[in-house]
Amino acid sequence: MINICRWFFLGLYNIFTLIPRYLITGFICIIDPKKGEVLKYKGRPVIPIAMISLTLSVYLICIFFTSRWYVQKLKINYLTADILETTKVLENEKKEVISDENYEPGNDDKYANISFLSVDFDDLLKKNSDTKAWLKVSNTNVNYSVLQSNDNEYYLKHDFYGNSNFGGWIYGDYRDDFTHFGNNTIIYGHNLINKTMFGSLTWCQRESWYTNEDNLYIKLSTPTSNTVWKVFSIYQIKPEIYYLKTFFETTEEHQEFLNTLKKRSIYDFGEDINYDDKILTLSTCSDDGTKRAVIHAKMIKAEYR
């Protein structure tokens, strides 16, 4: 922000000091071409008005995009604060685990002290019927409602209320089943420079984050269930679709997929992953925008409403 202000005022200074001089000189060159021929740069004649017009255009375009970015950032901050303020989000001390007939969470005693996240979705669903879940990642800024459209493009450029916004919103892959959960539940979000949306998710690549056991439990609440997922892999990779698979022809293919995700991790979390585990994938861009920052976690606890 300091650099933006610095260049903004430097640009204004250049406009008020250089434009009048070059503008007047340019008009003189147009009125009297002979005088324009006298003005040379490296031996070539120049038309100052053309140069300054180009400079002014570029500057004004930069001001426009910077202003739009700042306004939309404010909108995202306002929306986030408003939704958090009007949504009842509770973390229970302990909850009895109730599994559906198709799911066995494993050794629940091991995770008995890990609390669930419970959210009242009534108001959220009234505001946007695309609301499917609420996601929280410890020691990051990720504490958002999760939306889902019939494609993976809409909420890249639209906010919670469906208004156009470059920051988009947190959203689930159109193939996700937030009721029963499939082999791979995928959630996306932009890596924004102000660390909203999934901008803070890259903090999970810091040793201080992933070596803290308390940070490894990701909590997801939906209108029909509350679940806890434990991280088993964190990494960066060039853009690809492999880790975004949700369907597998055979159990061997599925197990190989899970083994690959685990091997990619920058840290060995010591978690056993089997093809009957349900996994959660969080995906965003790396800080430099050239790669994907990815987190995988497996479901360890679930309660169904």
**Each residue of 96-108: pLDDT tens digit?**
444 444 445 555 5
Phi, psi of 258 (to 5 degrees): -65, -40
The pLDDT, as a whole number, for residue 96 is 43
**Each residue of 167-199: pLDDT tens digit?**
899 999 999 999 999 999 999 999 988 889 999
Q: Which residues contact residue 26 at a Cβ distance below 8 angstroms, ignoring those fewer than 6 apart?
A: 47, 48, 49, 50, 52
Query: What pTM did the predictor assign?
Result: 0.74
Greater confidence, 93 or 289?
A: 289
Which residue has 């089943």 as its token pair?
A: 177
For 18, the token pair is 């250089």
For 124, the token pair is 């959220």
What is the C-alpha separation between 40 and 149, in angstroms, rounded?
59
CA nearest to 296, candidates 276, 277, 281, 275:
281
What is the C-alpha separation between 244 and 118, in angstroms, rounded?
27
Residues of the chain above pLDDT 70, percent:
67
What is the C-alpha separation between 221 and 226, in angstroms, rounded?
4
The pLDDT, as a whole number, for residue 135 is 97
Q: What confidence category does residue 80 fall into, taking pLDDT thresholds of 50, 70 and 90?
A: confident
Greater confidence, 52 or 301?
A: 301
The pLDDT, as a whole number, for residue 117 is 93
**Each residue of 51-69: pLDDT tens digit?**
555 566 666 666 666 665 5
The pLDDT, as a whole number, for residue 95 is 42
Q: Which residues contact residue 231 at a Cβ distance below 8 angstroms, ignoring those fewer than 6 apart?
A: 204, 210, 215, 216, 217, 218, 269, 295, 296, 297
What is the C-alpha separation between 105 and 228, in angstroms, rounded?
10
What is the C-alpha separation between 91 and 216, in angstroms, rounded?
16
What is the C-alpha separation between 184 and 181, in angstroms, rounded?
8
CA nearest to 232, candidates 184, 189, 273, 201:
273
For 100, the token pair is 């559906």
What is the C-alpha separation between 271 and 50, in angstroms, rounded?
64
pLDDT(26) > 80: no
Q: Which residues contact residue 214 at a Cβ distance below 8 angstroms, ignoring those fewer than 6 apart?
A: 138, 139
What is the C-alpha separation between 142 and 231, in angstroms, rounded?
15
**Each residue of 155-174: pLDDT tens digit?**
999 999 998 888 899 999 99
Residues paired with residue 184 on neighbouring β-strands, in sequence order: 279
Q: Give catalytic residue positions.
A: 285
Q: What is the mean pLDDT of residues 202-218?
A: 97
The pLDDT, as a whole number, for residue 24 is 60
Residues of the chain above pLDDT 90, percent:
57
Whole-number mean pLDDT of the chain? 82
Q: What confidence category does residue 145 fall into, taking pLDDT thresholds of 50, 70 and 90?
A: very high
For 245, the token pair is 């698979």
